[in-house]
Amino acid sequence: MNRAEELKENLAEVEERIAKACEVAGRRRDEVTLLAVTKTWPASDVEILYGLGLRNFAENRDQEAGAKVGQLRHLSEARWHMVGRLQRNKAKSVVEWAGQVDSVDSVRLAEALAKAARAKERTLDVLLQVSIDGDTSRGGVAVADVAELAGVITRSGDLILRGAMTVAPRTMKPSQAFQALASVVSRLRDDHPTAIHMSAGMSGDLEDAISHGSTCVRVGTALLGGRRLTSP
């Protein structure tokens, strides 16, 4: 099986899982975005997935992503997400290629991204990364600090708050983590009308996430495989 056939088969399987999870949850399939996590995989894989209809792609390292996006400028409808932990000194570079940053977890990072977006005369979509278990050493803002950070983002005028994301911690059942994030997003929506998205669920737990209202599942291994390729 060549790579194009492999990815086509993987995508069909992932799509079937998402469709079934939506059916069980009583949701429409178009309520859930499939975000292909293409970190460490070559630009050629993105081209194949784009040809199969995917438009949303995620990277977690600025240097790798910048080079990859540069190679793929001809994919005019591709939308790129930054999903990894981000240092403030990378804000200017990330704004060059990312349509959305899904890992905003501090006031200082939000301020750096707002400044970078302002310099580019653009707005930047962002998600709050929430630490559901409160262990912010792994990334994420504590639940108690979500309202403050959301306010800073909204008042900046350069960032548009689109919702929140989390990675289910190993210390919790995924269903518990996703239920907690759903509560966070519900409160965000009350105060910030643009914050409608809940990004949760990956290859191993996307069904649980969809059942709790996730509007975006981030899939890498199930789509691209466990074998990592070297990005050009």
Radius of gyration of the chain (CA): 17
Helix (H, G, I), strand (E, B) or coil at 34: strand
* Residue 96 identity (one-letter amino acid): E
> What are 204-207's contacts with CB under 8 Å, separation 24+?
205/168, 205/174, 205/178, 206/17, 206/18, 206/21, 207/17, 207/20, 207/21, 207/24
- pLDDT tens, residue by residue, 29-74: 999 999 999 999 999 999 999 999 999 999 999 999 999 999 999 9
- pLDDT tens, residue by residue, 72-89: 999 999 999 999 999 999
Cα–Cα dist 225/10, whole Å? 8
Angstrom CA distances, 191 to 65, 187, 188, stand at 33, 7, 5
**Phi, psi (rounded to 5 degrees) for 130:** -105, 130
How much is the pLDDT for 226?
A: 80
- pLDDT tens, residue by residue, 158-186: 999 999 999 999 889 999 999 999 999 99
Rounded to an integer, the average pLDDT of 4-9 is: 98
Residue 82's H or E segment, with its range, is strand 79-82
Quickly state the pLDDT bin for 228 (edges 50, 70, 90). low
Cα–Cα dist 191/151, whole Å? 9
Structure tokens at 178: 């996703």
Rounded to an integer, the average pLDDT of 140-144 is: 96
